[in-house]
Amino acid sequence: MKQQIKQKCFRHGGVDYPYDLHIGGVKRLNLRVRPDGSIRLSVPRMTSQRQIDAFLARCGDKIAEAVARIQANKPSPKAELSATEQAEKKERLLATILDCHKNVVLPRVTALNLPMTDEQRQFIASPQAICIHPMKSRWGSCNFKKGTLNFNLYLIDQPIECIEYVVMHEFAHFIQPDHSPAYHALMTALMPDWKARKAKLNEKI
Ligand SMILES: [Zn+2]
């Protein structure tokens, strides 16, 4: 028999909780709060609404707690930036990246005196392009073949030590393109506290 799905809602502590009711295909009632905060309740085929209501009343506190925890961890939706705000952030971020490049990346790479090809040296000294866009899932990326770098516009809202970490991370890819142990050893040589900086950055995503 096919499973039947209904959209339902229950009230607990003055709050309405919509849930997907999956009927059939299970032996006992079970409830799951998904990572996005939505609720799924699966029930055996012959379960009455009364049994469902009693079950939800029993689990109400736990459900409310789980949903609240998920909502508290969700990043606040980024307000749409106006074109002017975007341009202003872009300009500030580019200036910050160039500062990091000059004051952090170049002195540290030079100090390590690593064996590099002429092309690697050239890209590190002066990348072919530094592009800045609003991005959803990453802070930066590096095209080590083309010599170009991309950075997330929202990086400008992060603490400076995190911006420095991302800039160093991407420039280091000109020396070591992957995320191998060799890359991490290189990062440690270039920026001994990169892990702490990265952890701080990830907290903010
Ligand atoms: Zn990387």
Distance between Cα 76 and ligand 1 center (Å): 25
Distance between Cα 85 and ligand 1 center (Å): 28
| Whether the Cβ atoms of residue 96 and residue 88 lie closer than 8 Å to each other | no
Distance between Cα 29 and ligand 1 center (Å): 45
CB-based contacts of 178: which residues, under 8 Å, 6+ apart? none
Q: What is the pLDDT of residue 203?
A: 66
Distance between Cα 91 and ligand 1 center (Å): 23
CB-based contacts of 63: which residues, under 8 Å, 6+ apart? 12, 17, 31, 33, 39, 56
Q: What is the pLDDT of residue 69?
A: 84
Per-residue pLDDT tens over the stretch 37-62: 889 999 999 999 999 999 999 999 99
> What are the b/e assignments for 119-131, b being 16+ CB within 10 Å?
ebeebbeebeebe
d(CA 164, CA 196): 12
Catalogue all structural domains in the chain, each as residue range(s) with its CATH number: 4-73 (no CATH), 83-204 (3.30.2010.10)
Q: Which residue has better confidence, 42 or 1? A: 42
pTM of the model: 0.62
Distance between Cα 197 and ligand 1 center (Å): 14
Tokens of 178: 């992957």
* Angle of helix 160-172 versus helix 83-100 axis, rounded to 10: 70
Closest-CA residue to 169 (of 112, 104, 111): 104
At residue 2, does pLDDT exceed 80?
no
Distance between Cα 44 and ligand 1 center (Å): 48
Q: Which residue has better confidence, 114 or 76? A: 114
Distance between Cα 32 and ligand 1 center (Å): 35
Distance between Cα 141 and ligand 1 center (Å): 6
Banded pLDDT at 20 (limits 50, 70, 90): very high
At residue 1, does pLDDT exceed 60?
no
| Whether the Cβ atoms of residue 163 and residue 155 lie closer than 8 Å to each other | yes
Distance between Cα 173 and ligand 1 center (Å): 7
Distance between Cα 178 and ligand 1 center (Å): 7
Q: Percent of the chain at pLDDT above 90?
A: 74
Distance between Cα 100 and ligand 1 center (Å): 17
Q: Percent of the chain at pLDDT above 70?
A: 95
Banded pLDDT at 19 (limits 50, 70, 90): very high
Banded pLDDT at 34 (limits 50, 70, 90): confident
Banded pLDDT at 186 (limits 50, 70, 90): very high
Distance between Cα 92 and ligand 1 center (Å): 23
At residue 76, does pLDDT exceed 60?
no
Interval 170-198 mean pLDDT: 96
Distance between Cα 111 and ligand 1 center (Å): 22
Interval 112-122 mean pLDDT: 95
